[in-house]
Amino acid sequence: MAILKPFAAVRPRKDIAHKVAALPYDVMNSEEAREIVGDNEYSFLHVDKAEIDLDRNINIYDKIVYEKARNNLYEMINRGVLAKDNKKCLYIYRLIMDGIEQTGIVGCASIDDYLNNEIKKHEHTREEKEQDRINHVDICDANTGPIFLTYKYNNEINGIIKSWTEKEAIYDFLAEDNIRHMVWIIDDEHIICNICNIFKNIDSVYIADGHHRSASAVKVGLKRRKENPNYTGEEEFNFFLSVLFPHSDLRIMDYNRIVKDLNGLSTEEYMFRVSEKFNVNIYEGDEPYKPSCKHTYGMYLGGKWYELTAKKGTYDPCNLVDRLDASILQNNLLKPILGIEDPRTDNRVDFVGGIRGLKELELRIDNQKDGAAFSMYPTDIEDLMLIADAGEVMPPKSTWFEPKLRSGLFIHTLR
């Protein structure tokens, strides 16, 4: 059973929605955000990355940054850049990338569903990253970025979406990265009730992306409950902003690895140790090696690409986590050979989303003149759901979802 709740979204005027909508805060650093925003006064990065409007020397986790975010948000509301709908609705959000559509329902999920594991997770979170978004949500008094949830395809929901999207979209724009964004408002109370009832009969929903944002939203909700001991459970702080997509729509891209050095090994020593666990072949193609199936990897080393294939015995095929490509590489190469004990915290390893292309791996390794890069085969959405169902956790940086949901198209206020 999954609770889906309509809400009155704070959202941009139609004529400037394309200027407001911004990439998520966590796919860029502060300098990149400043460059992206330029002279765009409407960009939602003024809220999600408010340090761009402060001195460059300020600590991005200073309270003044969150206060600036709140001030920017409510200034946008006061100026009429953003306005709150006058009734509770659900919304449809469609993204089109390279001709492939991804269409979800925008509403609010329940913090109790998260706590009771009706909303299933597949990643650990880090306390410092949680605290950042706790401060942001609490001080802004709003969920400013949607959590990316998924559910197993449902024919009834698909039929409703198909019928409703025959209407004219309230937003329809092409972003600078050539991704088309479309939004419809579902304001018919009968249809809203029908959708919510269908979700009550869906066993589970899954966090695809946004573990830190969801954990933070839940902790803010629990904080508000403590502050309001007579709460009923219907207050807005009991729910958090989400977009729910059918799993069949989702596109997971490769999430590649770069290691800064060979852990003190010579190239010969390193290659010998790698060959103990992987079949290694020189790749003669003109383009970087892109794996075409599970348990194969590209390795860029010394100006050459190699094809690696995991040998028998390097993983347990019956173990959901152990058989993941990210686990196989970590357990048989990154940790024992290159000394990467914890990829979450080790600064010798970096991760590059597949959207940047494999030439980025070559560039990075050529520039640092040491180390190795690894191209990965994308994780299956079915593997993600199986692991979440089993209560297991995937290795860090196992999934890179594209296209990215834009922030600023929907804001959920907590009161």
Return the HEC string of the chain: CCCEECECCEEECHHHHHHHCECCHHHCCHHHHHHHHCCCCCCCHHHHCHHHHCCCCCCCCCHHHHHHHHHHHHHHHHCCCEEECCCCEEEEEEEEECCEEEEEEEEEEEHHHHHCCCEECCCCCCHHHHHHHHHHHHHHCEECCCEEEEECCCHHHHHHHHHHCCCCCCEEEECCCCCEEEEEEECCHHHHHHHHHHHHCCCCEEEEECHHHHHHHHHHHHHHHHHCCCCCCCCHHHEEEEEEEEHHHCCEECEEEEECCCCCCCHHHHHHHHHHHEEEEECCCCCCCCCCCCCEEEEEECCEEEEEEECCCCCCCCCCCCCCHHHHHHHHHHCCCCCCCCCCCCCCEEEEEHHHCCHHHHHHHHHHCCCEEEECCCCCHHHHHHHHHCCCCCCCCCCEECCCCCECCCEEECC
225 & 267 share domain: no
Q: Give domain status of residue 349, yes or no.
A: yes
225 & 318 share domain: no
Q: Give domain status of residue 384, yes or no.
A: no
What is the arithmetic mean of pLDDT over 48-52? Answer: 98
Q: Give domain status of residue 325, yes or no.
A: yes
Per residue in 333-369, pLDDT tens? 999 999 999 998 899 999 999 999 999 999 999 999 9
Structural domain boundaries, residue 363: 255-377
Per residue in 108-137, pLDDT tens? 999 999 999 999 999 988 888 899 999 999
What is the arithmetic mean of pLDDT over 275-299? Answer: 97
220 & 297 share domain: no
Q: Give domain status of residue 386, yes or no.
A: no
pLDDT averaged over the chain?
96
Per residue in 289-330, pLDDT tens? 999 999 999 999 999 999 999 999 999 999 999 999 999 999
145 & 60 share domain: yes
116 & 91 share domain: yes
pLDDT at 128: 87
373 & 408 share domain: no
What is the arithmetic mean of pLDDT over 155-167? Answer: 97
Q: Give domain status of residue 26, yes or no.
A: yes
Q: Give domain status of residue 396, yes or no.
A: no
94 & 152 share domain: yes
55 & 190 share domain: yes
pLDDT of residue 1 exceeding 80: no
pLDDT level of residue 177 (50, 70, 90 thresholds): very high
What is the arithmetic mean of pLDDT over 78-88? Answer: 98
245 & 307 share domain: no
Q: Give domain status of residue 387, yes or no.
A: no
Q: Give domain status of residue 217, yes or no.
A: yes
The count of domains in the chain is 2
pLDDT at 124: 87
